[in-house]
Amino acid sequence: MTETTTPPAFVPQPARIPADQLVSDVGIAERAAEFRAAPLRGPYATLRVIQPEDYPFLRTLETSSEVATRWRLRGTTPGPEQWVQSLWNGVMVQFVVAETKTDKPIGLVALYAPNFQEGHARLGAGRFDLHSRNPVMIFGVAMFLEYVFHGWNLRKLYMDLPEYNYPQFSSGLGRFFDIEGRLREHTFASGRYWDELTLAIYRDRWQSEGARLLGTEASKFGAAADATAGGAA
């Protein structure tokens, strides 16, 4: 008769990892404390997500004012559903720029067509009042650039625009952006052809030069004042 034996029950043993191979948490707390959300609200400009209730206003603006011929629709009047699709087509991030003091919408900023393999994306920005020299929109765009470069590892942003829109910020040439492309007589508007320019905003130059535009936007408000809006956990 064969004697049967019950195999010993498996008792899991605690892992014996040599002390010198343990993953240390030294320094994690210090690094975690460095986490900073890019602000979406500054003393002059606020970036807020577009809501469906913004659509009628934005569509009216884009199709029925002087903006209509200068902006992306170029004077066309797509139907409501088609317009909404075009608003978000290829868009990764998009905000309404509003005056902080009054909450009045003054423009749109968008990042679209991102290419993470090559590290670039395209920037769109437009103010609703084309004749305004109010600098609040500039502060909104600066905050948006900080938001983008802070949140994604993109090395450069392109901005395409017809030359008639260029004088609004031409003083930034060589400091905040370069002109890297020029298509001669590419765009027909206002009865004639215009050159199409491609501006390039580089991450490193933005961080060394452009970020000073955020002086009042970021340094006094910063992430602490806007942790929720900035997406902090």
Partner 1 sequence: MSLPLRGQIQWEDLAVEIAAIGRLPIERVVPEATLIDDLGYDSLAVAELIVLLTEEYEITTLPGDLETRDWSKVTVGQLREECGGGTA
Residue 143 CA to residue 148 CA, distance in Å, equals: 9
Q: Determine the 3-state secondary structure of 138 from DSSP.
A: helix
CA distance between the termini of the chain = 68
Q: For residues 139 and 149, which CB has a smaller minimum distance to partner 1 in the complex? A: 139
Q: For residues 115 and 216, which CB has a smaller minimum distance to partner 1 in the complex? A: 216
Q: What tokens does 206 get?
A: 């933005």
Residues of this chain, 45-84, that bind partner 1 according to CB under 8 A:
none
The radius of gyration of the chain's CA atoms, rounded to the nearest angstrom, is 25
| Chain position carrying tokens 């498996």 | 10
User: Any idea of the CA torsion for 69, 74, 79, 80, to the nearest 10 degrees?
Assistant: -70
133 binds partner 1 (CB under 8 A): yes
Smallest gap from Cβ 172 to partner 1, in A, equals: 5
Chosen residue from 115, 190, 219, 228 binding partner 1 by CB under 8 A = 219
37 binds partner 1 (CB under 8 A): no
169 binds partner 1 (CB under 8 A): yes
User: Any idea of the CA torsion for 141, 143, 145, 149, to the nearest 10 degrees?
Assistant: -170
221 binds partner 1 (CB under 8 A): no
208 binds partner 1 (CB under 8 A): no
196 binds partner 1 (CB under 8 A): no
Of the ranges 81-89, 117-125, 166-174, 190-198, which one interacts with partner 1 (CB under 8 A)? 166-174
Of the ranges 5-13, 50-58, 61-69, 94-102, which one interacts with partner 1 (CB under 8 A)? 94-102
CA distances from 19 to 14, 24, 203 (A): 14, 10, 41
Residue 125 CA to residue 103 CA, distance in Å, equals: 18
Binding footprint of partner 1 on the chain (CB under 8 A): 43-44, 99, 101-102, 104, 132-139, 142, 167-172, 176, 212-213, 215-216, 219
